[in-house]
Structure formats: C-alpha cells, structure tokens
Amino acid sequence: MTNRIAVAVETPQHTGVGVLDYLADQAWPPGTLLRVPLGRREVPGIVWHRGGDTELADDALRPAGPALEALPPLGEAWRRLVEFAAAYYQRGVGELALAVLPPELRKLDDVQLARRVAKLAKLAPPPAAEPPPRPEPSAEQQAALAALAEGTAPALLHGVTGSGKTEVYLRAAEQALDAGRQVLVLVPEINLTPQLEARFAARFPGRRLVSLHSALTPAQRLKNWLQAHLGTADLVLGTRLAVFASLPRLGLVVVDEEHDPSFKQQEGARYSARDLAVWRAHDAGVPVLLGSATPSLETWQRVQEGRYRRLALDARIGGGAMPRVRVFDMSRLPRQRGVDAPPLAPPVLEALKQRLERGEQSLLLLNRRGYAPVLHCGECGWKSGCPHCSAWRVFHKGDRTLRCHHCGFTERVPRACPDCGNQDIAPIGRGTEKLAEQLAELLPEARVARIDADSTRGAGALEQQLGAVHAGEVDVLVGTQMVAKGHDFRRITLVVAVNPDSALFASDFRAPERLFALLMQAAGRAGRDAEQAARSEMWIQTWNPQHALFDALKRHDYAAFAASQLDERRSAGLPPFSHLALLRAEAKSAEVATAFLDEAATLAEGVETIGLYPAVPPAVSRVADVERVQMLVESTSRPALQRFLAGWLPQLHALRPHHKGLIRWAVDVDPLAI
Ligand code: ADP
Ligand code: ZN
Ligand code: ZN
C-alpha cells in the first residue's frame, strides 16, 4: 500500500474542497472510480490525481477500497470541467463530480459494471444507412456554416423561429460526425427533447444518438451515459445536466434557446449549463453554437464586444414573415363595478372569431395557472393565504382545491369564509382554468383546450394534448409559457398575450428581458408558412401600451430592445456590466437568517473590490414555514468576485455553529433572479 492518491469524495462542505488522500494498492490512474472509507461509511470516490495533496505521514492515511476497473477512467478534460465548475460555483470538487455522474454508478460493483460495459461495446453500430435527402442550405445558412468553420470563438446563431437554426445545427453536426467526433446538443426542457431527437435521428440514421435528462430511469440514464463515455454514442442530446456528459471525442457543442432560464440549475451547485458549455467548448478547442431569437443580454453584450460572433438568419425559411403585432390599450374598456371584466377586448375577440370561421387555430398565452390567484371574502376581507408561506393559495376549480404553488399545501375550498362564515367567497383575477372556461362560454362552437403544468401532470399527457393540437382537434389553445416554447404548430395564425403586464413592473431586473423573449417566442408560433404569415397576428392586451418593450416587439426589433435594456443595465451597474453573487440564508426566523448575513457582511468589511447590499427578504420570503433572507454581492470584476468568494466562504462555514436555528445557507454565483 504505498501508492498515495488524492480522491474526490462527497464531503460535507465545511471539510473543504472534497479531495482527500488515501493509500492504494495500485497506482490507479486519475479518473478511476473507487470506493473509499469516509468516517464510518464507505463512499464512492474518483481518483483526482496521484501523489496526494497533504503532508500527512502514510500511516495517518486510510487505505482505499476496490476500484471499478471495468469503467475506463474519466478523462482529463472532464475532470478539468468539473474542477472549473466547482471552483466557479463555490462547491466541493467531489460533491460536484459525484452529483453529475449517473446515480446508478454508485450502486454497481465491478462485475455488474463489467457486464454492462461489455454489452454496450458489443452493440453493433445501427447499419450505415443512406442519409435521407436534406435541404440545400439557404444563402444565410451557408454563410453561417462557413463562418462557423472559420474559428472557434463562440457563435451566436441569431434567428427567429422558423429561420432554419436547427438545419444549421444538423449541418454543423454532420461535419463534426464526419470528422469522427461527438456532438453535444443542449436544450432547455425535457419536453423539447423528443422532437429534436426525432429530427437528429432521422438525419443521421447510421449514428448512435442518446439522450440525457432527468426523466430517464436510472438504468436508462446509466446506459446512455456509458455510451457517451465509452465513445459508442456519436450524438448526445439533453437538458442542462448533459453538459457534464463524459465525451472523449467532443467535436461540437450546440445550445438551443441559449437565453432560457432553465439552463441554470436552481439547487446544489447552481451552475449555468450554457456558460459551462461555452467554457467546455473553449477548453476542448471546438466550436460552440448558441442559438436564439432573443439572446440573453450577457451573450448579446459579448457580441457587441467582439468576443462572440453573430451569425444571422434574418429571414424565415419559405419567406414567411413574423406576425403583425397589435397592441390593445385596456384602459379603453369601460369598467363596470361588480361585473367581471371580459377576458378579451372586442377587437381581439373579433380576431379570434375570424380564425374560427377560417378554420385556423389561435393561441392564448396567460402565464398564470389555476382558476384564480386568490379567493376573497367581501364581508370581512379574508383572503386565501397560505399558512406556511408569504403567498396566496391559488383556487383550482377543477378539483375544488386551494393550492399553494410554493410549498404545495392543498386543501378543499371552504364552503364559507373561514373567518366570518359568509357563504359568498369569490375568486379574484384570472388564471388559465378560468380563461378556458370563459372562452368556452363566449364561443360555444369553439373547441377550447388548455395546456399548463396542471393539465399535463400524467405521463404522456403533454404529448397527447399537443397531438390533439397538431391533429387540428383544437381551435383555441389556452396555455402558460409552456406552449410558447419550441412546439412546431402549423396552423396557428393568432397569438394573444392576455395579460403580460405584471412582468413589466416586477422587482427582478431581468423580468423585461424574459417577457420580451417569451412574447417573441410566442409570436414565433404563428404563421410558419408564408401563405399563413400574411394574415397572422399577435395581439397584446395591456394597460401600458406606451411601454418601449411593446414598441420594439411591434417592429420585431430585438436589437433595439437589447440596446435600451443594456443602457439601463449599464447605468444601474447591473449584469452584464457587473458580476453578482447572492448569499441566501434560511432559518425558522428572519432574525436568525439576517444575523448570519450581517455577520457575513462584517467579515467582508474593507474589501474594496466588491460591494455588499443590505440583507433583504426575497419577493416570497416565507416558504413552508422557513424564512428566507438574501444578500447581494457585486463586483465590476469577475476574477475579483471569484477571489473574494473563495476566501469568504470558508469563513462562513466556520461561522455557522454560532447561529443556532440557521437551517441552511448557500451562495448562488451569477444568480438569475434576485
Ligand atoms: P428553427 O430551428 O430556426 O425554428 P428550422 O431549422 O426548424 O428553423 O427550419 C424551419 C423549417 O424550414 C423546417 O421545416 C426545416 O426543415 C425547413 N428548412 C430549414 N432550412 C431549410 C432549407 N435550407 N431549405 C428548405 N427548407 C428548410
Ligand atoms: Zn369573511
Ligand atoms: Zn405554501
């Protein structure tokens, strides 16, 4: 036992980086999976490097357990990625490394694993089939592909829905595959994987394609991961966790809808898969394609600075135009006391009726599920608050429940006001359930369907409901942002944003950026055929018709919108002109959480390269009886922020025992919502 190895293990954060020294009976190469003793347990670990990290004498070290010899070691590039991500997002190397491997790997012993590896290695490649006919690239697509081949600086593929971005991904992938390389394609949502998977599979019949996302069974996920790791899979398509796939022959990275917030992990190591994809491609010296109609302002600013290239697809394939955007000023509607406002303004309703007459489809976007956001008693003022959260419980009429969308607390709707007994408690406001109900009343002849997180709970429910839309069995589709994304509807010629205003005044500085992206994306659902495009419309119902956001939307002018937002961000010192980290603390009382953050702030006193904001509660401060408080750290220099955090966090770990009642704390680097 004379070989010293440093092994990455999952340790509680306060023990440091998570790489510990052991003695091994063999000089296992770095990247080997093995089991090691930790405290009284035996845990999985990864040989991080040979030689050990500490000055400890050999007899102070414990012997490592058996290795998984059947698994080829994880490569150097993979370890570099994990090491970078762990350092950047302020987590332990071992914690992150083990969290991003398929969980099933820890359960198998060497014999079981050897059997699986042998089986996969024996899989014959699916027979080399003739590639199907593929469209000749348009001039714009050709230019984008030529530019992509010229260098490896990250490339923004900027084009609206239907402009042929996916076709560019396919062509770029073809080149990488022909060169014997693997291709990684990231998409924001599991729901979007099947249709993209189908397109890639159809285009590359002779190649092995695997998907990686959280809806796979553990066995499937292991199998797919192994194929990527063994190099037998050529194409890996997945959601954010796929950015950590082990890919020994990586040749191209694609991030579709790169602006989508789903690329940011919201627990544990809060990594941005988009940002890591860019880092990974750069590290591997391979091109990365970031596709979007509405790039994130971070990406857009890098284009302005010349650090990223912009490859533009300005026209829709087939010559279709984006729908004409029309804004209806809701203050023009007469208000009647005590009477529910109609869901659609007269000209919008008229537009909807026209679609019905012509047998075309309409999409009504309302980003609020449930029947009504709150129930209210007119007698005593009672409202359906959640007893565990600082939020209202939403009224769901379908199953007659009051449901908290933050903690899940659900009760039957009371027959009478719980405070005064008044029988007449009424819903206030409107969610998708109510909108669908009102439309069915307004237009009895129309087939109205609703798609949101509630309607699609069961396995296969979303596919089935989308299938009905595609099959033309639906005239009016009511949905949340879920239906705005990606789906290739062919017969929609009207999109209505029923009530988009709340995002205009949200406290989160990214809310307008997100609203613009959502509305552009929704607009892209309409008029994908040139012939339809001519009569396609998007209606916006708003109390703020003068807002610059709608103005830019009318002109489909992303660049103008981005420029005005970037001006605001620059003068406010917000990203991408500054770099943020958010320190969050959770406790049974806000005082305890705040005291922890205040002491953390004291530790940071005198550091000139960063600024600290006062500790404040987030928009929803109490969830499931836990109080949350957060503190923003800001710096104009990313490296300075990184240096500060790396020194600060170990001090915070040491601080923790002095704050009784503190449940947890965590740091979120580059937070999306603040
Ligand atoms: P996006 O990904 O930007 O939404 P797609 O790549 O899906 O756009 O292209 C939209 C439609 O146009 C698809 O049906 C696609 O097959 C077709 N298409 C794309 N490029 C071409 C081309 N060069 N010639 C003909 N059809 C094309
Ligand atoms: Zn009451
Ligand atoms: Zn709740």
pLDDT digits (tens, 9 = 90+) for 335-352: 777 667 789 999 999 999
- CATH assignment of the domain containing 198: 3.40.50.300
From 479, 456, 520, select the one nearest 161 (Cα to Cα): 520
Ligand nearest to the CA of 626: 3
Question: Ion ligand 3 — residues with CB under 5 Å?
Answer: 386, 388-389, 404, 406-407, 409
Rounded Cα distance, 472 and 195, in Å: 18
Same domain, 227 and 351: no
What percentage of the chain has pLDDT greater than the value 90?
78
Could you say which DSSP state residue 67 is in?
B
Which residues are annotated as part of the binding site?
377, 380, 386, 389, 404, 407, 417, 420
Kindly give the distance from the C-alpha atom of residue 385 to the centroid of ligand 3, in angstroms, as a whole number: 8
Please work out whether the CB of residue 319 comes within 6 Å of at least one atom of ligand 1.
no
Please work out whether the CB of residue 137 comes within 6 Å of at least one atom of ligand 1.
yes
pLDDT at 16: 58
Q: Contact 227/237 with Cβ under 8 angstroms? A: no
Q: What are 354-367's pLDDT values in tens digits? A: 999 999 999 999 99
Same domain, 22 and 97: yes
Q: Contact 154/290 with Cβ under 8 angstroms? A: yes
Angle of the 218-230 helix axis to the 110-122 helix axis, nearest 10: 60
Same domain, 326 and 301: no
Kindly give the distance from the C-alpha atom of residue 393 to the centroid of ligand 3, in angstroms, as a whole number: 7
Ligand nearest to the CA of 419: 2
Q: Give, using CA atoms, the residue closest to atom 11 of ligand 1.
A: 162
For residue 313, being part of any structural domain is answered with yes
Q: Give, using CA atoms, the residue closest to atom 20 of ligand 1.
A: 164
Same domain, 94 and 161: no
Which residues are annotated as part of the binding site for Zn(2+)?
377, 380, 386, 389, 404, 407, 417, 420
User: Average pLDDT of the chain?
Assistant: 92
Q: Which residues contact 287 (CB under 8 A, 6 or more apart)?
A: 148, 149, 151, 152, 155, 172, 252, 253, 281
pLDDT at 189: 87
Same domain, 17 and 157: no
Q: How many domains does the chain have?
A: 4
pLDDT at 130: 78
pLDDT at 1: 57
Beta bridge partners of 159: 313
For β-strands 235-238 and 182-186, DSSP reports them as parallel
Kindly give the distance from the C-alpha atom of residue 422 to the centroid of ligand 3, in angstroms, as a whole number: 24
Same domain, 346 and 484: yes
Which atom of ligand 1 is least distant from the CA of 169?
6
Please work out whether the CB of residue 141 comes within 6 Å of at least one atom of ligand 1.
yes
For residue 463, name the pLDDT band (cuts at 50, 70, 90). confident
Kindly give the distance from the C-alpha atom of residue 61 to the centroid of ligand 3, in angstroms, as a whole number: 48
Kindly give the distance from the C-alpha atom of residue 511 to the centroid of ligand 3, in angstroms, as a whole number: 23
Consecutive H or E run containing 176: helix 165-178
Which atom of ligand 1 is least distant from the CA of 161?
4
Q: What are 578-590's pLDDT values in tens digits? A: 999 999 999 999 9
Kindly give the distance from the C-alpha atom of residue 389 to the centroid of ligand 3, in angstroms, as a whole number: 4
Ligand nearest to the CA of 160: 1
For residue 255, being part of any structural domain is answered with yes
Q: Contact 290/255 with Cβ under 8 angstroms? A: yes
Same domain, 198 and 272: yes
For residue 346, being part of any structural domain is answered with yes
Q: What are 379-391's pLDDT values in tens digits? A: 999 999 999 999 9
Q: Which domain holds residue 642?
A: 579-669
The mean pLDDT value for 650-655 works out to 90
- Does 12 have pLDDT greater than 70? no
What percentage of the chain has pLDDT greater than the value 70?
98
For residue 212, the Cα-to-chain-centroid distance in whole angstroms is 15
- Does 321 have pLDDT greater than 90? no
The mean pLDDT value for 439-465 works out to 92
Positive or negative torsion for Cα 612, 615, 621, 622: positive
Least confidently predicted of 38-42, 266-270, 278-282, 458-462: 458-462
The mean pLDDT value for 129-155 works out to 91
Q: 624 in helix, strand or coil?
A: coil
For residue 541, being part of any structural domain is answered with yes
Same domain, 237 and 301: yes
Rounded Cα distance, 307 and 152, in Å: 11
The mean pLDDT value for 500-511 works out to 88
Positive or negative torsion for Cα 492, 493, 498, 500: positive
Q: 291 in helix, strand or coil?
A: strand
Q: Contact 44/107 with Cβ under 8 angstroms? A: no
Please work out whether the CB of residue 162 comes within 6 Å of at least one atom of ligand 1.
yes
Question: Ion ligand 2 — residues with CB under 5 Å?
Answer: 377, 379-380, 382, 417, 419-420, 422
Please work out whether the CB of residue 486 comes within 6 Å of at least one atom of ligand 1.
no
For residue 390, being part of any structural domain is answered with no
Kindly give the distance from the C-alpha atom of residue 294 to the centroid of ligand 2, in angstroms, as a whole number: 46
Least confidently predicted of 85-89, 155-159, 188-192: 188-192
Please work out whether the CB of residue 479 comes within 6 Å of at least one atom of ligand 1.
no
In terms of C-beta density within 10 A (0-12 exposed, 13-18 middle, 19 or more buried), how is residue 613 classed? middle
Which atom of ligand 1 is least distant from the CA of 170?
6
- CATH assignment of the domain containing 54: 3.40.1440.60
Q: Give, using CA atoms, the residue closest to atom 25 of ligand 1.
A: 135
The residue from 278, 298, 318 where one domain ends is 318
- Does 17 have pLDDT greater than 90? no
Please work out whether the CB of residue 159 comes within 6 Å of at least one atom of ligand 1.
yes
Please work out whether the CB of residue 166 comes within 6 Å of at least one atom of ligand 1.
yes
The residue from 511, 546, 568 where one domain ends is 568
Same domain, 172 and 222: yes
Q: Contact 374/428 with Cβ under 8 angstroms? A: yes
Which atom of ligand 1 is least distant from the CA of 316?
10
Same domain, 583 and 563: no
For residue 171, being part of any structural domain is answered with yes
For residue 117, being part of any structural domain is answered with no
Which atom of ligand 1 is least distant from the CA of 168?
6
Ligand nearest to the CA of 378: 2
Kindly give the distance from the C-alpha atom of residue 166 to the centroid of ligand 2, in angstroms, as a whole number: 55
- Does 15 have pLDDT greater than 60? no
pLDDT at 557: 95
Q: Give, using CA atoms, the residue closest to atom 14 of ligand 1.
A: 162
Best mutation site among 136, 138, 157, 167 for ligand 1 pocket (most ligand atoms within 8 Å of CB): 167
Q: What are 36-93's pLDDT values in tens digits? A: 999 899 999 999 998 877 778 888 899 999 999 999 999 999 999 999 999 999 999 9
Q: What are 405-451's pLDDT values in tens digits? A: 999 999 999 999 999 999 989 999 999 999 999 999 999 999 999 99
Least confidently predicted of 63-77, 230-244, 530-544, 607-621: 530-544
Ligand nearest to the CA of 426: 2
pLDDT at 533: 80
Which atom of ligand 1 is least distant from the CA of 136?
23
Same domain, 147 and 68: no
Please work out whether the CB of residue 135 comes within 6 Å of at least one atom of ligand 1.
yes
For residue 381, being part of any structural domain is answered with no
Same domain, 22 and 86: yes
Please work out whether the CB of residue 521 comes within 6 Å of at least one atom of ligand 1.
no
pLDDT at 487: 73
- CATH assignment of the domain containing 606: 3.30.70.260
The mean pLDDT value for 627-634 works out to 97
The mean pLDDT value for 563-570 works out to 96
Q: What are phi and psi of 597, to 5 degrees?
A: -65, -40
The residue from 288, 318, 348 where one domain ends is 318
- Does 485 have pLDDT greater than 90? no
Kindly give the distance from the C-alpha atom of residue 373 to the centroid of ligand 2, in angstroms, as a whole number: 18
Higher pLDDT, 502 or 167: 167
- Does 183 have pLDDT greater than 80? yes
Kindly give the distance from the C-alpha atom of residue 459 to the centroid of ligand 3, in angstroms, as a whole number: 25
Best mutation site among 166, 197, 316 for ligand 1 pocket (most ligand atoms within 8 Å of CB): 166
